[in-house]
Structure 1
Amino acid sequence: MVFFFLCMISIVEVYSASSELTYKKGNYLSPIIYHCAILAAGLFVMVITLNIKCKYFKLFTPFLLFLALTTLIIVFLTGHSTNGAQRWISVFGMQFQPSEIAKGAMILAEAQILSAMQTDNGADKRAFKYILIVAGFMVLPIAVENLSTAVLLCMVIIMMMIIGRVPKLQIGKLMGIIMIMVALAFAIIMIFGTDKSKETSKTNLEEQVAQNKKSSTIEKIFHRADTWKSRINKFMSDKEVAPEDYDLDKDAQVAHSNIAIASSNIVGKGPGNSVERDFLSQAFSDFIYAIIIEEMGIEGAIIVAFLYVVLLFRTGRIANRCENNFPAFLAMGLALMLVTQAIFNMLVAVGLAPVTGQPLPLVSKGGTSTIINCAYIGVILSISRSSVKREDDKEISDDTQTEVKRNSQICE
């Protein structure tokens, strides 16, 4: 039911927020037909996935890891660039993000490692090492072009370690190393990056072009530093800007997102009555939560957030019913991925986090991400069906034993 409601909200809000695509294509039905087709494909994938027995998911792990690593290398070398980020590769005319495959492969691998190395006192110490090795191959290639996705994946990996009872000392050391690496990355971004939101003179622009022609391998790796630095500066700046001095061209996304939220007047304008969708460039994707607030008010925002809370709670109940560790860890990992990404998106939309470019799972308009998120839901449902069937079989077995004992007593 959570999946159903999120899909219904997605259809309504994507249809409302796709005014930019409607204008470009000259057909107001084209964007929503495409989105419904993607959701239908995702539903088909979900139905297939939920009918796969949980034990077979282990067999997919090495193939998915190989596929994810291969496609990540391909996208780094010859990937398609969108909005300055090289995140896409094209297969048979269709574009997809390898990072979406890498996320699922990493969660599968970690769930398998944690389940295979569980002891009475928690996970074996070697599990930590194996998880870091796999994470290194998955996270580092993603971080070059999609830092927010890499951070999101790292958070899920750590949360799964906590759930999998990895020794606290190891997790503590890892957190310390991560803090040092974050500080180092922050320093590199601030050194190599150029804040594009600030005005640049013609002379400086010519110098920048000349430097770009002499780019080295390091500069290629940190070519996204400009974007990261601009987002950090915008988020950390506490300078008050008068409305008449605000530059809507340079800070269009954040500005129009704030306007959409402020103009909702708590109760919202009603479905299809958004105004800021015509000015917000990613209204149907990264900032769809702002459009939901503008149209549906605070109540709509709470309902959407509550649906993700229910998804996490229900998955926890499913994991608690599992007799084996692997399906429990896998279900929780996938749910944490979906919910954490949703939290990222909502925090960005309301201005509590810097712009990250993360879509709202199962709600934002998308292709690869929507279909793969549907597959995640299918895996969780498959685990749920398996656990319920075991409970039913156990109840039947208990009833049979009780009946045998009763007949034996009667015979005696």
Structure 2
Amino acid sequence: MRNAATYIKSWFGRFDAVTYRRPDPWLWLPAAVLLLLGLLMVLNTTYFLGIEKKGDAFHFFKLHLAHIVAGFVILILLSQFSLAGLRRIVMPLFIVSVVMLALLYVPGLGLMKGGARRWLRLGPVIAEPSELVKFALVFFLAEFLSKRQERIREFKHGPLAVFLIVGPITLMILKQPDFGSTVMIALILFAMLWAAGARWQHLAVAGSGAIGLLVFQAVAKSYRMKRLTTFLDPWSVARGAGFQLVQSFIALGEGGKWGVGLGAGRQKMFYLPEAHTDFVFAVVGEEFGLIGAAVVVALFLVILFRGMRIAHDEPDPFASLLAVGLTALLSIQALINMSVVIGLIPTKGLPLPFLSYGGTSIIIAMAALGALLALGRRPAVR
């Protein structure tokens, strides 16, 4: 028993005479408010959907609550890890995520929905490997780049080495197809390379190549091209491809400054597609108005600035880069989702962290917060 306890504690790594800080309220309080709002929104937007699809008004709400409980357990566990413990899970996490991604193409395991192979059936559980891959890549890149601090400004040993590893994984995700997650991985990768000290000239050249590839992929598929043209003028096809974005605009317009009130919104009643997932922010805008939407943005900004503060103050390269990656994972995805909802960029199919209904996505968002909390609790040396 003593050996087992010692082994478990070694993963948390608290054997030195140091004082650990309490959980950072500037991280967990904004996230807690977003999670509570998300619970309200999921109940709000899936009530009629549950009746129609499952005959149970609370079916989707109960599933969402179960996912939050699972995510909370993971959050608590990760928040207790020391830096050594976080380092130990890098390779297991990376290997498991890549294996799960590959299993998508095994008959009977990978599920096709809406023309995309993004979901993996593992017994009674259905997971989305791309969400885990994004999380695992943040850990892997933090470890990989932290060991190349002295050579990161050399293109061969810095950006090129990273692209050769991440490139095949990204292509596997693009093949699903999952264009939104591909864009997310590219943005996180460049954010972490920049934070690691890569030359901006190298990043500019690599970025141009990545943009060229993404543009080619966007125009090569007719449905992606339709999304692009629809984004530019959704009103011209308001009854067709532009329906979702137009309904989002209507929801935001109806909300005005103060909103129509919780539960009083109408767009969620089968007018706005994906009101409980990708477009939940539109329902927030309709029912809580511009003020409510601004509060959501402000809460994400608090998490962003606090995460960057942790990265700035952290003397260990791995911990600093990990904080950058985890913060980027949450804040960039939130930015993309909200930009889609208000019509600034084409539809990407990415959920809003902490608010959108989801299984793997909500668990991964809470796992990212847990790892950030662990970094925020790093010991103050006596």
- Normalised by the size of structure 2, how large is the TM-score? 0.86
Distance 1:252 1:122 in 2: 46
1:38-53 equivalence runs, <5 A: 38-53=67-82
Q: How much has 1:360 moved relative to structure 2?
A: 0.2
Q: 1:313 aligns with which of 305, 311, 318?
A: 305
- The letter of the residue matching 1:381 is L
Question: C-alpha deviations, 1:290-346, integer Å up to 9, x for none?
Answer: 000000000011010111111010111212222211011001101111111111110
**Matching residue of 1:9:** 37
Query: Which of 362-371 and 77-86 deviates more?
Result: 77-86
Distance 1:137 1:102 in 2: 12
Q: 2:133 aligns with which of 88, 102, 105?
A: 102
CA contact (8 A) 2:50 2:58 kept: no
Question: C-alpha deviations, 1:239-282, integer Å up to 9, x for none?
Answer: x64xxxx6535533222212111111221011111100012221
SS in 1 for 2:255: coil
Q: 1:111 aligns with which of 142, 146, 149?
A: 142
Q: How much has 1:21 moved relative to structure 2?
A: 2.4
CA contact (8 A) 2:258 2:290 kept: yes
- The letter of the residue matching 1:341 is Q
1:233-312 equivalence runs, <5 A: 233-237=229-233, 241=236, 247-248=238-239, 250-278=241-269, 279-312=271-304
Q: For the aligned residues, what is the CA RMSD?
A: 1.8
CA contact (8 A) 2:227 2:241 kept: no
CA contact (8 A) 1:42 1:371 kept: yes
Q: How much has 1:122 moved relative to structure 2?
A: 6.0
Distance 1:232 1:124 in 2: 36
Distance 1:180 1:88 in 2: 28
Distance 2:248 2:261 in 1: 17
- The letter of the residue matching 1:35 is H
Distance 1:21 1:355 in 2: 25
1:318-333 equivalence runs, <5 A: 318-333=310-325
Between the two proteins, what is the percent identity of the paired residues?
25
Distance 1:312 1:228 in 2: 30
Distance 1:152 1:267 in 2: 32
SS in 1 for 2:104: helix
**Matching residue of 2:350:** 358
- The letter of the residue matching 1:162 is W
CA contact (8 A) 1:123 1:164 kept: no
Q: How much has 1:70 moved relative to structure 2?
A: 1.8
**Matching residue of 1:158:** 190
| Structure 2 portions without partners, runs of 5+ | 1-28
**Matching residue of 1:149:** 181
The count of residues paired between Structure 1 and Structure 2 equals 348
CA contact (8 A) 1:114 1:123 kept: no
Distance 2:218 2:106 in 1: 25
Q: 1:84 aligns with which of 94, 103, 115?
A: 115
Question: C-alpha deviations, 1:56-107, integer Å up to 9, x for none?
Answer: 2222222222222222222145421122211001001211111011111211
1:232 equivalent in alignment to 2:228: yes
| Structure 1 portions without partners, runs of 5+ | 190-224, 395-412
CA contact (8 A) 2:152 2:158 kept: no
1:339 equivalent in alignment to 2:331: yes
- Judging by fraction of residues, say which structure has more helix: 1
- The letter of the residue matching 2:203 is I
Distance 1:185 1:10 in 2: 33
CA contact (8 A) 1:46 1:377 kept: yes
Distance 1:136 1:280 in 2: 35
- Normalised by the size of structure 1, how large is the TM-score? 0.80
Question: C-alpha deviations, 1:164-213, integer Å up to 9, x for none?
Answer: 101223212212322332343344x1xxxxxxxxxxxxxxxxxxxxxxxx
